[in-house]
Chains A and B, each alone.
Chain A
Amino acid sequence: MTRKELLLTAMLAALVALIAAASPLLAQQKPPLTVGAIFVGSVNDYGYNRSMKDGLDEMQRGIPGLKLLEAENVPETAESERVMEGMIQQGAKLIFATSFGHQQFAFNLAKTHPDVYFEHAGGWMMSHNFGNFFGATQAAWYPMGVAAGKMTKSNTLGFVVGVPIGYALGNVNAFEMGARSVNPKAVTRVVVTGGWSDKAKEAAAAGALIDQGADVVTMHVDSPATIIQTAENRGVSSIGFQSLTAAQLAPKHWITGLGFTWGPFMTGIAKSVIAGTFKPAFVREGLGQMMAIAPFGPGVPADVRALVNASADKVEKGFNPFTGPVTDNAGVVRIAAGQSWGGDKMGNFDWYVEGVIGKAK
């Protein structure tokens, strides 16, 4: 080697050594628990990720000294496995995989790390160190439908769906059924954008629904922000979903909304991990527990508020809108009289109820 090459190589080696030596100096005091959380999008979305972040923050406030590692914009692909593993390497003993598509990858890691606990949102997989939780959203959409059905003047409601999975179709169905229960002429038009978060498409989708006459717009996408803002700008009412913070986006035309309150559940799980009493469970909680109704907007009259609250009350006490007979929008009876679809079937929707204008497949 020439002298120049030797010098450069030595410099590089020194730099590497310096860096490697420096990192232990930055190690901190041992916390009672290190929790890792991955989000599919940004936490500032007034939507799903915000609700998860709020829940985690509540958990952190409830357990002093708890260390929280977070990663945003983690795609629902094998990349997520890498990120979660990185957190485990950093000492995480509890991982919240907050988006549906993270399930398989979190599950893979649960197999290779039997001493780390995982909670996944929205799926079904379970094992001794892997639990599953979500809000029982479908029934909760019924009171939203009631609100929409009463507030609409054009009898056309608009629903923007990100990805047409069974759970989302179920939300649309409960919404329409709620609307029909107070307004037999109400129809719901559905537009699918094809992804959980494509802001430009969401703006265009909301616009398209309004063009077709919808005067109440709602959504099942990760962030309700763009759709609510589009509606507000065109003077159309909106009903929010995912996070209770969305109300501030529509000061004039907000009706109400659904939000998740993950905090108590997450705190409970974290405490159980610390105490060593973690029990995997398939948790689906609805209104009153993991879900809440957002405050009403200024334009909502008292009688509508009363109706919605009464409906929400019914749901909390166990009312299931998916009780037969239920017909789909092609006229076929999907749930026979005397039968009902319980929580375990909420992912199986591949049809829309009567009154919904759209193609489920």
Chain B
Amino acid sequence: MEWKEILTRLLKNKLSLFGLIIILFFVLVAVFAPILAQPSSEDEPYQIPRAGWQVEPQPPREGYPFGTAQGSYDIFYGMVWGTRTAFRIGVIVVGLSSLIGITIGTISAYYGGKIDEFFMRITDVFMSIPFLVAAMVLTTILGKGLDNVMIALVTFGWMSTARLMRSQVLEIKNEEFVQASIALGAKDHRIIFKHIIANCIFPVLIQAFMKMGSMVITASALSFLGVGAPQGYADWGQMITFARDWILGGQGSALKYWYTVVIPGAAIMFFSLSWNLLGDAFRDILDPKLN
């Protein structure tokens, strides 16, 4: 199927159109972050400025459209620059982990035999530690910080892609056109790149869309558990950490500090939702019988 046709269909489907619009919105926020929320110092734009030294969150008011979180951190600023953080985590982690997965899956399936056995057992080993726990352990050992979170997520995030790619390649390897080019004496790398990967890439792409959401969720969960972004770094997960002690409200109203959790929570949810909608629609287009 042609890319153009896929795109028209994605635009025609209401759900994926909705997803695309949300992603576009987040892209715009990320691109225009310096205009939307001017950093106080050019060197450290990701450091959320503080409105003062008050511990208690303060509701939305002039100058602080989303209010301030625990420790007087500006929620609006954190959300805007956090969008960049989310995209950086998503793109880097999904990109690298997919690349590793595609490589290992393809090599495994294409060469088969002992090589396949070896790589698949390694995959099994990496999958034997629960993903979130493994990411937590590695981040703890490497030390706090988003770079280390990303390293951990890539280290333990490639296995599902490798398995998917392997099963795809196994299926396509025996197709006539691949067998024909093997018979014609084409070089391995030519067969792999020109025939195999080009024909297996769509399911992996769908999976990558789904991973965009889940990886950003996991990264923010790590921040929430206290092993992710350093204090005051513009990161959605961190914004929710600020809300943690205020969740039960205060005198008079249980919902007194709703904005500290609802705003960052909604951002993470919509970010993940948009990629999932896109992935779903993509799958329906490529495999209509599943719908």
Does chain A bind chain B?
A: no
A interface, CB within 8 angstroms of B:
none
